[in-house]
């Protein structure tokens, strides 16, 4: 069998409940994601390695826990070291052509750093360095003129710097989601006989979702909302509090519009695969970089918590796999899965092997085995968690400055102290079983302590 093409789609802050096929919210419209789920396998118990974007993305691109090179929170997040191969490097060696389109955010990378896609063997690229602009990309403006009009401070916060192709700046004024879709389409259609991996990293549905084209606002009867600039007469931090839950008027509507428009671009790519006869030989994978950001109007029902937290709402994510003829259609898999598994699974379908921290999930996705991870770990220093089977133990330092900042600045419902949940009966982590199952908590504490030693975290955890 020839090596399949690979289309890997990674969105930003997508809420666990926000797919129309789930039937949770009648105002959510994601027909393309529903089409992927109907034609493939949905992982119900899939996790990222961090509840924030940059360390999580480092694990996605490498298949290894980012804690191995010290990545825990924004201030320590960085791209994998030079001796850790990336997805593009491994697949290039297997004869793939490689394309990257969208958001880049592993830390505070600069043009020319190895974190930039062309510097770790993505051949065709169009991307923005979100680490230079508060972790976001503007949905509408990327040009020198925009930088001048916004001014240096606002240009930083509103993320209007030019995009990049290779190491060269590329200006783009207009809605970014269709441009990312267009660039991915051109790459897929290129006259090249090699199989490809196309990694499409949407900035949707990250915050500031009011940044929509005028015609889309009019279609939805939504008012325009101004980006922050100094002439508003308020400091950015004060203004920011008014654009997150519960203060932004129409906040959920803006978020759902961005989600619907991203989904439309995914739908166009699925149509393209059908029309060009590539669908049966293309593995399409969809996931997101961390749990939904409830402060940005995402919803994670039935999970507790949000981005920034190790409650499941911060770390359990949608994960959809479609490969017609190779994976069953309309199947749900409850195996314990991780975005660590993307790298070994994609390398595996390409005919190779990759020894990282993830697993090749292909047989589990097919339903041929239930074997997957025996445990998964999360560790940000001031909060951590471990899941083994149906049991999950979490710990939060409620007085840590990071905890206080996220609680006050992002309105995130952070935890405090120990919490033991049996997820098979309590998916929402509402009932703390610590008192009646202390032996399980002790086992999980030991398991996590051993893992910390394995990945090289030298600071002591909580007693």
228 contact partners, CB below 8 Å, separation of at least 6: 154, 157, 158, 236, 239, 240
CA–CA distance, 86 with 91 (Å, rounded to integer): 9
- Nearest CA-CA partner of 102 in 288, 270, 300: 288
User: Residue 330: which of 24, 41, 18 has the closest Cα?
Assistant: 41
- What are 404-446's pLDDT values in tens digits? 999 999 999 999 999 999 999 999 999 999 999 999 999 999 9
Please tell me the predicted confidence (pLDDT) of residue 1: 73
pLDDT at 369: 94
The pLDDT score that the predictor gives to residue 463 is 53
Instruction: Using alpha carbons, list the distances in angstroms from residue 452 to 41, 68, 115, 380.
Output: 32, 9, 25, 11
Read off the pLDDT of each residue in 3-27 and give the average, rounded to a whole number.
98
What would you report as the CA-atom Rg of the chain, rounded to the nearest whole angstrom? 21
- Percent of the chain scoring above 90 in pLDDT: 97
What is the spatial distance between Cα 318 and Cα 307, in angstroms, rounded to a whole number?
A: 14
- What's the burial of 390, exposed, middle or buried (CB within 10 Å: 0-12/13-18/19+)? middle
Position 58 pLDDT exceeds 70: yes
Q: What is the DSSP letter of 108?
A: S
Which whole-number Å values give the CA distances from 446 to 14, 310, 440, 453, in the listed order?
33, 18, 10, 11
Over residues 238-251, the pLDDT tens digits come to: 999 999 999 999 99
- pLDDT of 46 above 60: yes
Which structure tokens are listed for 123?
């051949």
Class of domain 378-455: alpha beta
- Nearest one of 407, 374, 410, 392 to 296, comparing CA atoms: 410
Using DSSP, state whether 274 is helix, strand or coil: helix
CA distance 294 to 348: 35
Cα 273 to Cα 177, 252, 260, 283, 437, distances in angstroms = 19, 32, 20, 11, 51
Q: For residue 371, what pLDDT is reported? A: 84
- pLDDT computed for residue 315 by the predictor: 98
Task: Give the Cα separation of 51 and 39 in Å (integer).
Answer: 28
The H-assigned helical ranges of 64-209 are 87-93, 144-150, 152-158, 176-188
Q: Using CA atoms, how far apart are residues 181 and 263, in angstroms rounded to an integer? A: 10
Name which CATH class applies to 5-374. Answer: alpha beta
C-alpha to C-alpha distance for 125 and 203, rounded to whole angstroms: 15
Residues 181-207 have pLDDT tens digits of: 999 999 999 999 999 999 999 999 999
Domain boundary assignment for the chain: 5-374, 378-455
Predicted pLDDT at 43:
98
DSSP states of 64-84: S-GGGGT--STTT--PPPTTS
pLDDT level of residue 459 (50, 70, 90 thresholds): low
**What 8-state DSSP symbol labels residue 146?**
H
**CB 72, CB 55: distance < 8 Å:** yes
Q: Is the peptide bond before 10 cis (omega within 30 degrees of 0)?
A: no
For residue 127, the Cα-to-chain-centroid distance in whole angstroms is: 16
Q: List pLDDT tens digits, range 316-343.
A: 999 999 999 999 999 999 999 999 999 9
Evaluate whether 89 touches 174 at the Cβ level (below 8 Å): no
- What are the DSSP E strand ranges found in 2-144? 5-11, 41-43, 46-47, 97-104, 124-129, 141-142
């Amino acid at each position: 069998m020839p090596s399949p093409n690979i289309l890997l789609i990674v969105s930003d802050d997508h809420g666990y409940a926000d797919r129309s096929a789930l039937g949770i919210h009648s105002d959510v419209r994601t027909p393309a994601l529903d089409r992927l789920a109907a034609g493939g396998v949905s992982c119900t118990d899939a996790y990222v390695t961090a509840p924030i974007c940059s360390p999580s993305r480092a694990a996605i691109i490498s298949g290894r826990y980012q804690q191995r090179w010290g990545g825990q929170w924004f201030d320590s997040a960085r791209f994998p070291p030079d001796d850790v191969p990336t997805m593009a490097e491994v697949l290039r060696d297997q004869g793939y052509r490689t394309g990257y389109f969208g958001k880049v955010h592993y830390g505070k990378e600069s043009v020319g750093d190895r974190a930039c896609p062309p510097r770790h063997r993505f051949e065709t690229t169009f991307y923005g360095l979100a680490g230079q602009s508060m972790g976001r990309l503007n949905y509408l403006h990327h040009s020198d003129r925009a930088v001048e009009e916004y001014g240096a401070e606002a240009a930083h916060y509103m993320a209007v710097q030019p995009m990049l192709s290779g190491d060269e700046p590329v200006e783009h004024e207009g809605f970014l989601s269709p441009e990312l879709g267009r660039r991915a389409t051109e790459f897929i259609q290129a006259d090249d006989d090699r199989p490809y991996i196309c990694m499409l990293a949407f900035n949707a549905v990250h915050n500031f979702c009011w940044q929509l084209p005028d015609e889309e606002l009019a279609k939805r009867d939504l008012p325009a909302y101004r980006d922050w600039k100094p002439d508003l007469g308020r400091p950015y931090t004060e203004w920011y509090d008014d654009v997150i839950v519960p203060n932004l008027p129409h906040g959920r509507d803006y978020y759902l519009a961005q989600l619907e428009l991203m989904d439309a671009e995914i739908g166009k790519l699925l149509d393209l695969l059908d029309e060009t006869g590539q669908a049966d030989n293309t593995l399409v994978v969809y996931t997101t970089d961390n749990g939904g950001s409830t402060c940005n109007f995402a919803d994670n029902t039935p999970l507790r918590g949000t981005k920034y937290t190790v409650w499941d709402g911060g770390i359990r994510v949608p994960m959809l796999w479609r490969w017609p003829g190779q994976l069953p259609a309309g199947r749900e898999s409850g195996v314990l899965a991780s975005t660590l598994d993307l790298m070994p699974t994609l390398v595996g379908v390409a005919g190779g092997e990759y020894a990282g921290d993830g697993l090749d999930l292909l047989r589990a996705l097919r339903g041929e085995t239930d074997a997957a991870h025996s445990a998964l770990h999360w560790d940000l220093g001031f909060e951590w968690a471990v899941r083994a089977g149906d049991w999950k133990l979490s710990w939060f330092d409620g007085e840590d400055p990071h905890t206080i900042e996220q609680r006050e600045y992002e309105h995130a419902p952070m935890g405090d102290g120990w919490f033991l949940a049996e997820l098979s009966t309590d998916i929402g982590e509402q009932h703390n079983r610590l008192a009646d199952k202390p032996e399980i908590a002790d086992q999980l504490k030991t398991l996590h302590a051993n893992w910390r030693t394995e990945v090289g975290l030298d600071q002591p955890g909580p007693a």
